Amino acid sequence: MPLAAATVASAAAVTMLVVPVGAGPGLREIGLPPGVSAVAAVSPSPPEASQPAPGPRDPNRPFTVSVFGDSIGWTLMHYLPPTPGFRFIDHTVIGCSLVRGTPYRYIGQTLEQRAECDGWPARWSAQVNRDQPDVALLIVGRWETVDRVNEGRWTHIGDPTFDAYLNAELQRALSIVGSTGVRVMVTTVPYSRGGEKPDGRLYPEDQPERVNKWNAMLHNAISQHSNVGMIDLNKKLCPDGVYTAKVDGIKVRSDGVHLTQEGVKWLIPWLEDSVRVAS
């Protein structure tokens, strides 16, 4: 699959809720957590060209974490409680991850990915250079486990050709967000249960073996970068090695994929410790 071109124009595009064309009745808005309206999810980003050039870091500023990723990361930012001593900068985009410019299947529907998803290389590069964070946090992988068209045919993670493309995009992402020398932390993808087929089976994107393949790819990619580490979100949310909606008596998932407000409040102290130690 040819890599999509990343242009300055893409970086200047408005960051918005991406709802792919073709979502039929009964399919919840793609990647949108339950109880969150589409209007609330739209988050315009000023054109990158209008942003001031990065200056020296303020030594007295809070510990700064730039967050990049999809709707799982977006939910974390949306429900973020007060974090004294920390500043989390939200660069997440619902419905967008690393794979670019291909049709995909989600909850049994065939959908077209919007062009807004394709500009992440230039956008992330500009954002991490502007933020000058202490840590860059990358939360991706949900959209890498769905069925997708690659080189004219349907495929998925586990296919050698598609895996080579996924790995190339992942390596590019790690290089971009770590380009300033900042410490990069990547979360594993947690097991999920976004829905069931009429016969009770899981949809492909929720199959644990696909999650395991992505997390193994993450582990291998991270080993090739001295400034990149892993945060095992899968183990934290699925301590018994299988999907669960509750951990420590707290409902942590709202729809089988996204975090609840209570789940975020429970998770944040652990996440703060994880990124602080990483730096």
Reported as a single tens digit per residue, the pLDDT across 156-170 is 999 999 999 999 999
Cα–Cα distance measured from residue 65 to residue 18, given in angstroms and rounded to the nearest whole number = 24
Q: Is residue 129 pLDDT above 50, yes or no?
A: yes
State residue 32's pLDDT score: 60
CA atoms within 13 A on the CB side of 149: 10
State residue 34's pLDDT score: 65
Q: Is residue 81 pLDDT above 90, yes or no?
A: yes
Q: Is residue 53 pLDDT above 90, yes or no?
A: no
Is the model more confident about 47 or about 71?
A: 71
Q: Which two tokens stand for residue 71?
A: 């709707």
Is the model more confident about 33 or about 152?
A: 152
Q: Is residue 89 pLDDT above 50, yes or no?
A: yes
Cα–Cα distance measured from residue 117 to residue 124, given in angstroms and rounded to the nearest whole number = 12
* Terminal Cα-to-Cα distance of the chain (whole angstroms): 35
pLDDT in tens, 179-219: 999 999 999 999 999 988 999 899 999 999 999 999 999 99
H/E stretch holding 38 reads helix 38-41
State residue 186's pLDDT score: 98
State residue 36's pLDDT score: 59
CB 234 within 8 A of CB 242: no
Cα–Cα distance measured from residue 203 to residue 205, given in angstroms and rounded to the nearest whole number = 6
State residue 77's pLDDT score: 97
Please name which of 159, 205, 265 lies closest in space to residue 30, comparing C-alpha atoms. 205
pLDDT in tens, 228-246: 999 999 999 999 999 999 9
State residue 102's pLDDT score: 84
Segment 26-47 shows an average pLDDT of 47
State residue 20's pLDDT score: 36
Cα–Cα distance measured from residue 234 to residue 257, given in angstroms and rounded to the nearest whole number = 11
Cα–Cα distance measured from residue 243 to residue 234, given in angstroms and rounded to the nearest whole number = 9
Cα–Cα distance measured from residue 121 to residue 170, given in angstroms and rounded to the nearest whole number = 11
State residue 174's pLDDT score: 98
State residue 274's pLDDT score: 97
Domains, in order of start, for the chain: 8-47+60-278 (3.40.50.1110)
Q: Is residue 33 pLDDT above 80, yes or no?
A: no
Helices 208-222 + 160-177 axis angle, to 10:
50
Average pLDDT, the chain: 85
Which amino acid appears at position 264 of this protein? V
* pTM, 2 dp: 0.84
Strand partners, 186: 138, 230
Cα–Cα distance measured from residue 37 to residue 241, given in angstroms and rounded to the nearest whole number = 32
Cα–Cα distance measured from residue 136 to residue 270, given in angstroms and rounded to the nearest whole number = 16
Segment 6-10 shows an average pLDDT of 31
For residue 223, count other CB atoms closer than 10 A to its CB.
Answer: 10
State residue 85's pLDDT score: 97
pLDDT category, 55, cuts 50, 70, 90? low
